[in-house]
Structures are given as C-alpha cells and as structure tokens.
Amino acid sequence: MKPVKLGLIGVGTVGASTALVLKNNAIEIARRAGRAIEIVHASRKNIAKGMPDGCADIKLTDAPFELVDDPQVDIVVELIGGYEPARDLVLRAIENGKHVVTANKALIAMHGNEIFAAAQAKGVTVAFEAAVAGGIPIIKILREGLSANHIQWIAGIINGTGNYILTEMHDRGRDFDDVLKEAQALGYAEEDPTFDVEGIDAAHKLCILSSLAFGIPLQFDAVYTEGITRISIEDMAYAGELGYRIKHLGIARRTDKGIEMRVHPTLIPDKRLLANVDGVMNAVVVMADKLGPSLYYGAGAGADPTASAVIADIIDVARTITTDPQNRVPHLAFQADRIVDIPVLPITEVSTAYYLRLRVDDIPGVMAEITRIMGESEISIEAILQKEPETGVAQATIIMLTQKIREAQMNLAIDKIANLETVHGSIHRIRVETLGDD
Ligand code: HSE
C-alpha cells in the first residue's frame, strides 16, 4: 500500500517528538497501520531552528499555508496551538480534502462545531486525542469504549502544570511562582501560563469531554472556570486535617435540570484515587451507568506522551482513509444530527458541599452567630475546626465543612456572615466533592 504522507505544522516540544517517534518507531507503526507513515513537509515559525536531529531530510518551510495546499499531503498535523492561525489552517486543510490531526484544545473547544461541520461536509476526519489529558486515550474511551453507556459524570485532573504546582506546594511547601517556572522549563505549561493557573486550559478540555460524554455542542463559554492562584498551603494543611486533599478538578455532570460544567479547586476525600494523582500526571474518572466508575491515569503533558496520542490519531486516520466517511467514528461521539442542546446550568444552580475558612474575633458568642445564619439558610454543618489564635492575636481561624447546598444559597449565607462585625477579611470558600456513586 502507498505510504500515508503527513504535513507537520509546528516543530516545538510536541512536534519535534512526533517527528522523532514516527522515525524511530516507523516499523512498529507500519505494522499497526498497514502502511508506512512519513512526514513529507513540515513548517515552523523560526525556520533557523531546523528539524530535530535524525529528521533533517524532511522539507521544512516557514509557510504553513503552502503546506496545507501541498497536494502530496494526505494528513495535516497541526501542533502550533492557539486560535489563529490554527483555525484558518485547519479549515483550509479540510477545504483541500485533507484529514487533520491536532493537539489543539483551545481550537477544538472554541471552533470545534464549525470545524467538524466543515469536515463532515467534506468527508474528512479531524482527530484530537492529544487535546485532552496528554497521552491518556480519554477521547477514544468516551467515543468508543463506553459507547453503550449513559455517562453520568466525569471528574478529572486535566491540567498537568496546575497539578504539578499543587503537588509541590502540598508535599514540599514550595512557592507557587517557583514551581510554575519549573513547569515552564520542562515544557508542560502553555505559552501563556495563565491558561494553566487560571483554569482556562482545563476548561477547554472539560468542554471537549462534556460534548463527547453527553452529546451536546461544544460550548466553552458555558464552563464555569476558577484557577488555583488563591489556594494557599494553609488551606491544604486544614483540608488534610479533615481528611481531604485539594485538587484542581474539571467536573461535568448530567442532572435532571441540565448539564454542569465547572473547573475549580475542589476538596476530595484523601482516600480517593484521584486525590493521590500527583505531579504532572492527569487522571479522569468516568461514572457510566453500566460500567460504573472507571479511572484513566497517565502523563497529561510533555513531549513524548503527547506525541503518543498524536501518532495514535494519525494511525487511526491512516486506517480509515479508504473507508466510507459515513461509517467512521463520529467526531463528537454521537452522530452529527443527533447532538442535543441540553441546557448548561449556571454555577449558582450547582449544588456542592463547601469548605469555608474565616477569621473571627476570639470572643464568646461568635460561633453562635455564625451557626445561626447557617441554620436560617438551611445549611447543615458537617465539621468545624477552630484554630487557637497565635500568641498576642485576638482573632481565631475557623474552618467549616458544610453539607451539599445550592451555590446561590451559600452565596447569600457567606455575604451575611462576612457582614458580621466579628468576622474579618474575606471568607475563603472551596467546593467539596465526595466523588461517590451518585
Ligand atoms: N499546559 C498543559 C498542561 C499541557 O499542563 O496540562 C497539556 O495540555
């Protein structure tokens, strides 16, 4: 069979590794794909950096639009990231009848509906396994492995940089900025690292997972997003005393009222496997009605793990090149005409338990006032921790765990408590999930 010819856009961390793995594992890859797969054309912004050692024979330009117009290219592999020019390049590749493999979560989350419609019309495939959770084949799991099930919820650690920062803070008491610099140097962080620490990268990925899980359109703007910048080592220690770890989770849940899509720091019981996913590792728990819970764990960022997912997609596409487009696996798991626009709930309508930390005057009656407001707001308190004031200080720290309550109701109670004269500063709130069977 004729070799499948690739055009590679972007020769950065993941692009270089993809080129090298395709060369070094060429025989094994051909055994799986049933034909050779070779890069015939590559492009990178700074052409002076060249191709990685061992790939110097590949034609390299700094003109990606020429690459997507190159008639010999069967599959365009887009590894530049970001919204533009990635969107234009991918749409032009599709227009030219080429298949596309991309690791670009921002592109899929933001422009996926448009891109898949164009691909559908043209009968080509756009594959994006590497866009979520690096090397973990979670897209394939949701799209194929669990296709008999109703998916009930997904909870995942889907940003390696954020998890690395939280782990280093927790285990070694290291400084946030210091760990972030290290993650950047290791090639884990996004070009703009605020995407990692403010939860935007995780929100891109959660938006994609939700669409695959529930058969809904991609709607990045509907994901509630909160980053990790306000998590302190102090909160990690208090959570630990109560038997919890703080993790930055992406959570998607199907409820009777609509779909929840949210990314935020979350207390989870420390006995859960997810609580023990550390460093740059990612993990996703999927609760499915027939399988029950299943957990997918692996490297969520980094050159070779991401290249592993990119190349798995290339092999999948190579295998389907000769099949009828109607019989291929649908881009978003469900047939394009069966995607349903189920409403997405605003965060105020989401119910979770809460961890609250507040600073109060160390005088009698303060706790009674706080618990009165909680009672009037119909919020049950699960646990209370009071920390003795430091010597010479007249204020104490109180930590409370509540039972599940609608966020709008909790917001009102927090406002009332914050207005008490005996309460000082802002009230720190972190949502709590038990990740049990419900
Ligand atoms: N910046 C991302 C992360 C890279 O840290 O998870 C993989 O998508």
Question: Tell me: the pLDDT tens digits for 272-293?
Answer: 999 999 999 999 999 999 999 9
- Distance from the alpha carbon of residue 160 to the mean position of ligand 1, in angstroms: 5
Ligand 1 pocket test: pick from 138, 196, 310 the residue with the most ligand atoms within 8 Å of its Cβ: 196
> Does the beta carbon of 160 sit less than 6 angstroms from any atom of ligand 1?
yes
Q: What integer is the mean pLDDT of 308-332?
A: 92
CA-300 nearest atom, ligand 1: 6
- Atom of ligand 1 lying closest to residue 161 CA: 5
Residues 83, 88: Cα–Cα separation, whole Å: 9
Query: For residues 353 and 236, what is the distance between their CA atoms, to the nearest angstrom?
Result: 17
pLDDT score of 315 more than 90: yes
What is the Cα Rg of the chain in Å? 24
Could you tell me which of 417, 433, 122 has the C-alpha nearest to residue 249? 433
- In the predicted model, what is the mean pLDDT of residues 71-92? 97
pLDDT score of 35 more than 80: yes
Contact 118, 93 (CB under 8 A): no
Q: What is the rounded average pLDDT for all residues in the chain?
A: 95
Among candidate residues 205, 271, 290, 416, the one labeled active-site is 205
pLDDT at 388: 77
Average pLDDT over residues 131-142: 97
Q: What angle do CA 367, 368, 370 make, to 5 degrees?
A: 65
Instruction: Quote the CA–CA distance of 143 and 406 in Å, as a whole number.
Output: 32
Q: Report helix, strand or coil for 414.
A: helix
* Ligand 1 atom closest to residue 132's alpha carbon, by position in its atom list: 8
Q: State yes or no: is 5 an active-site residue.
A: no
Fold classification of 139-299 is Dihydrodipicolinate Reductase; domain 2 (3.30.360)
pLDDT in the model for residue 323: 83
Q: Give the phi and the psi of residue 44 in degrees, each rounded to 5.
A: -145, 150
Give tens-digit pLDDT for 297-312: 999 999 999 999 999 9
Helices marked H in 351-406: 366-376
Spell out the alpha helix ranges (H) of 303-384: 303-320, 366-376
Verify whether ligand 1 is closer than 6 Å to residue 104 (CB atom). Answer: no
Q: Which CATH number is correct for 350-432, 3.30.70.260, 2.70.210.12, 3.40.50.1820, 3.80.10.10?
A: 3.30.70.260
Q: What is the mean pLDDT of residues 388-395?
A: 78
Could you tell which of 14, 190, 304 is best to mutate to test the pocket of ligand 1, judged by most ligand atoms within 8 Å of the CB?
Answer: 190
DSSP string, 72-120: T-SEEEE-S-SSTTHHHHHHHHHHTT-EEEE--HHHHHHHHHHHHHHHH
User: Which among 332, 318, 306, 312 is positioned nearest to 99, based on CA atoms?
Assistant: 318
55-69, 219-233, 321-335, 367-381: lowest mean pLDDT where? 321-335
CA distances from 399 to 48, 75, 435 (A): 56, 55, 21
Per the DSSP assignment, residues forming a β-bridge with 367 are: none
Minimum mean pLDDT range among 65-79, 251-265, 310-324, 379-393: 379-393
- Does any ligand 1 atom lie closer than 6 A to the CB of residue 224? no
Q: Does the pLDDT value for residue 415 go beyond 90? A: yes
| Ligand 1 binding pocket includes 161 (Cβ within 6 Å) | yes
- Do 4-137+303-338 and 350-432 come out as alike in CATH topology? no
- Amino acid making up residue 280: V
Residue 301 CB less than 6 A away from ligand 1:
yes
Crossing angle of the two packed helices 13-24 and 303-320, in degrees rounded to 10: 60
* Domain boundaries of the chain, sorted by first residue: 4-137+303-338, 139-299, 350-432
From the list 276, 177, 261, 174, the residue with the least C-alpha distance to 226 is 261
Question: How far does residue 293's CA lie from ligand 1's centre (Å)?
Answer: 24
Tell me the CA–centroid distance for residue 362 and ligand 1, in Å: 44
pLDDT value of residue 327? 85
Question: What was the pLDDT predicted at 279?
Answer: 94
List the one residue out of 332, 310, 388, 379 whose CA is nearest residue 351: 379
Cβ–ligand 1 distance for 113 under 6 Å, the answer no
Mean pLDDT of 357-382: 95
416 C-beta neighbours (distance < 10 Å), count = 17
Q: Is the CB of 302 under 6 A from ligand 1?
A: no
Question: Which CATH number, 3.40.50.1220, 3.10.20.30, 1.10.3210.10, 3.40.50.720, labels domain 4-137+303-338?
Answer: 3.40.50.720
Band of residue 438 on the pLDDT scale cut at 50, 70, 90: low
Q: Which atom of ligand 1 is nearest to the CA of 282?
A: 6
- Going by alpha carbons, the residue nearest to atom 7 of ligand 1 is 301
Confidence at residue 191, expressed as pLDDT on a 0 to 100 scale: 84
Q: What separation in Å is there between the alpha carbon of 372 and the centre of ligand 1?
A: 44
Query: 381 CA distance to ligand 1 centroid (A)?
Result: 36
- Mean pLDDT confidence for 207-226: 98
What's the average model confidence in pLDDT over 135-156?
Answer: 98
Lowest mean pLDDT among 94-98, 298-302, 415-419: 298-302
